[in-house]
Structures are given as C-alpha cells and as structure tokens.
C-alpha cells in the first residue's frame, strides 16, 4: 500500500480548518480547535485508531461551536476520502464494542463509497463539558458525507454523558482501524464484487 496520508485546508467565512492525517500512524495527536471537549474526543480517535491527526481550526466560536464542529467533520471526512485511496486490499468493514464503566457503545463502519449514518445515542444530558451534544450528529454527518462511509453508532447503555460520548469516539477509532487494516488474504484485490468502492 502506498502512503495513506492527506492534508486538506478548508476555508469559509465561518471557519478556517487545516487537517493532516496518516492512516498508518502511531496515534500522534496535535489538535487546536478551541472546543476542548471535541479535542478530547478526537484524541480518542487518534489513539485508538492509531491514526496521526494534526488539526488546526479557527471558527466563529463567539456564536457557538456549531460551524466549527460541523466543518471539522467535513474536513476530516475529506482527508479520509483522499488518504484511503483506491481501497484495494483493505478489510473495508470494521466494528468495535467499547465500555467505560457503566457505558457501552458499538460502532460499525463500511468504507462503502456511499454516505450513510445511523446514530442511536440517547444522551442523558444536553451538554457535556460545555459542549452541546446535538453537535455530535453534526460532526458525524459532516464526516460520513465526505468520507463516503456507512456508519452505525449505537450507545447500548450508559448513564454518564461523558462516558456515552467517549465510548462512541473510542469505538469509532477502533472500528476505523479494523476497516482500514490490510487484509492479507484479499491480496490487493477490491473488497467488493462490483470491482470498485
């Protein structure tokens, strides 16, 4: 497999975002978004996905975090779409269950070439760490629309909102890692009978 890296810069009147990723990294994380709880979540993706993430975002946080969070999802999705390349020889599907104390989440991903999101996360509170939990679905919609993946996010159990969110992002990282790993028996073939994804 050639280097699976990408750098994307996306500028609008609302946000200016730079994202660099290495899908075959070690989990190096360098991230300044101005939204600390989101940084904490993205660090989980880097660490558990073993994906290097370098993110710099400046957004209109004086309004709220909405544009910054949504546009980060979009830019990260664009970077994944580029870095993943032709998808030959990857596992394509990935899944993970992750617990954190009382909370348990399951994430399933398919690098299908089509955007799809099923998000079933009954957050027990409306905000966590000053972060509006509505914004998680904005982030993931931005991501799936541009990474062109099918993503099922289920929080199966949980009382603590921080734990609910953290298990989703840790499982997201683990599922990404599985899906993007080389499948030796696939031997460089497309993991699809269509011949393309």
The closest alpha carbon to 49, from 78, 12, 84, belongs to 84
Convert 69-135 into a string of H (helix), E (strand) and C (coil). HHHHHHHHHHHHHHHHCCCCCECCEEEEEEEECCEEEEEEEECCCCCEEEEECCCCCCEECCEECHH
Q: Minimum CB separation from Mn ion for residue 134, in Å?
A: 19
Q: Minimum CB separation from Mn ion for residue 127, in Å?
A: 15
H/E element, 43: helix 36-49
The closest alpha carbon to 141, from 68, 71, 60, belongs to 71
Closer to Mn ion by Cβ: residue 71 or 166: 166
Closer to Mn ion by Cβ: residue 41 or 180: 41
Q: Minimum CB separation from Mn ion for residue 44, in Å?
A: 8
Q: Minimum CB separation from Mn ion for residue 103, in Å?
A: 11
Q: Minimum CB separation from Mn ion for residue 162, in Å?
A: 6
Closer to Mn ion by Cβ: residue 111 or 136: 136
Q: Point out the residue whose Cβ comes nearest to Mn ion.
A: 166
Strands 103-110 and 93-100: antiparallel
Closer to Mn ion by Cβ: residue 80 or 131: 131
CA 81/CA 115 separation, integer angstroms: 11
Closer to Mn ion by Cβ: residue 80 or 139: 139
Q: Which residues bind Mn ion (CB under 5 A)?
A: 166
Q: Minimum CB separation from Mn ion for residue 40, in Å?
A: 6
Closer to Mn ion by Cβ: residue 40 or 91: 40
Instruction: Please identify which residue in the block is written with the tokens 């979540």.
Output: 41
* CA-CA-CA-CA torsion sign (156, 79, 117, 41): positive
């Amino acid at each position: 497999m050639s280097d699976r890296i990408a750098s994307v810069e996306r500028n609008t009147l609302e946000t200016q975002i730079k994202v660099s990723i290495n899908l075959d990294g070690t989990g190096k994380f360098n991230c300044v978004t101005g939204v600390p709880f989101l940084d904490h979540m993205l660090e989980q993706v880097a660490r558990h996905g073993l994906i290097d993430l370098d993110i710099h975002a400046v957004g209109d946080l004086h309004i709220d975090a909405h544009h910054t969070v949504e546009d980060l999802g979009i830019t990260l999705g664009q970077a994944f779409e580029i870095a993943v390349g032709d998808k030959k020889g990857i596992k394509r599907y990935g899944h993970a269950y992750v617990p954190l104390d009382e909370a348990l989440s399951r994430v399933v991903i398919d690098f299908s070439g089509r955007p799809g999101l099923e998000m079933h996360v009954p957050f027990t509170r409306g905000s966590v760490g000053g972060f509006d939990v509505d914004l998680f679905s904005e982030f993931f919609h931005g991501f799936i629309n541009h990474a062109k993946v099918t993503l099922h996010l289920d929080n199966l159990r949980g009382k603590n909102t921080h734990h609910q969110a953290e298990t989703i992002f840790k499982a997201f990282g683990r599922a990404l890692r599985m899906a993007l790993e080389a499948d030796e028996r696939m031997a460089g073939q497309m993991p699809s009978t269509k011949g393309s994804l």
